[in-house]
Structure 1
């Protein structure tokens, strides 16, 4: 979106572990409360099961099953993706909390150089700083400057990689690089790449 203030990015802000993340709302279909999941035989560790939303089946991804993260919160939500193909399986990602949509000016975003092959592996588009407390206590979706770090996730790339069932090892590596780079260095993440329930 472009306004007289320049380009605005509409990002959904959410928490997972100790991190604060943003994702473009155009790739998000809806947000639902966490609920009991039906186990899916043969699924990778990071898919604890499926849920039903109306008449549709949604596979749920739980990153905590493969990557150690910070504090676990009680207000769990599932962010359901918009698939590129209407016939594709629906996926949702389990997060600790969802804070709402913020309209972020492009000039406050530190964009990553996507042409650098070292950077393309972690689903990151860039970084920005906000004041989550100010944002939560204001009316509207205005950007609130502050000291809280937000990682902007490339949900388009994430969705495409998840839907491609042949990229389980790549997916786990890239999710680990995004949510817990220190754990990536330990090599422990490799235990979850091909493991089936």
Structure 2
């Protein structure tokens, strides 16, 4: 059985506000403790800035702010989930990691449509996972990482490649 098969239906779940969200584990590079962030002037409020992760510069997004939730102070439970989607590597600041759960495809419902998309969180959700009596909102990294993050990550990746070529 390949590594992909063992990860197929697995999701890292985390809490934001009173809700629990899940990200396919295949997108998760690692989970790190919260660390100092260098702010980027004139970036959207939810893009908190940049971190240096073992020499690689990674933009970080505050998930609560991305979902238009009230900001809260960061605590010792605050983590950064480093995800890779296509060519992008981005850190997601989350309140608290919950667990890794298995959600088979038959337990995933399509994302509900809420009329005029009045719920900011719903546009980032690809489906709803049923885990026992609980519900996890499953996030779509393509929707979570908007054009601004893609442009920022693309810019950072190009700088990393040019620096490597100079050595």
Name the TM-score, length of structure 2 as normaliser.
0.69
The Cα shift of 1:56 comes to: 0.4
Number of the residue aligned with 2:102: 103
Question: Residues 30 and 162 of structure 1: is their aligned pair in 2 closer, same or farther, counting only changes over 3 Å?
Answer: farther
Contact in 1 for aligned 2:13/2:97 (Cα 8 Å): yes
Distance 1:81 1:2 in 2: 19
Residue 190 of structure 1: aligned partner: none
The 8 Å contact of residues 81 and 159 in structure 1, kept in 2 or not, is answered as no
- Residues 1-197 of structure 1: matches in 2 within 5 Å? 9-65=9-65, 67-69=68-70, 74=75, 75-85=77-87, 90-112=89-111, 122-130=123-131, 145-146=132-133, 148-159=134-145, 161=147, 163-165=149-151
> Measured at CA, do residues 101 and 125 of structure 1 come closer, stay the same or move farther in structure 2, by a change above 3 Å?
same
CA distance in 2, matches of 1:37, 1:161: 21
Deviations 1:79-131 (A, max 9, x none): 1121422xx5x3211101112321111112112389xx96xx7021211332x
Q: How many residues align?
A: 142
Aligned with 1:164: secondary structure?
helix
Under a length normalisation based on structure 1, what TM-score does the superposition of the two structures give? Answer: 0.60
Partner of 1:179: none
**Where do 5+ consecutive residues of structure 2 fail to align?**
153-167
Contact preservation (8 Å) 1:13, 1:21: yes
Identify the structure with the greater strand proportion. 2
Relative to structure 1, is the Cα distance of residues 20 and 71 closer, same or farther in structure 2, using a 3 angstrom cutoff? Answer: farther
Deviation at 1:162, TM superposition (A): 5.1
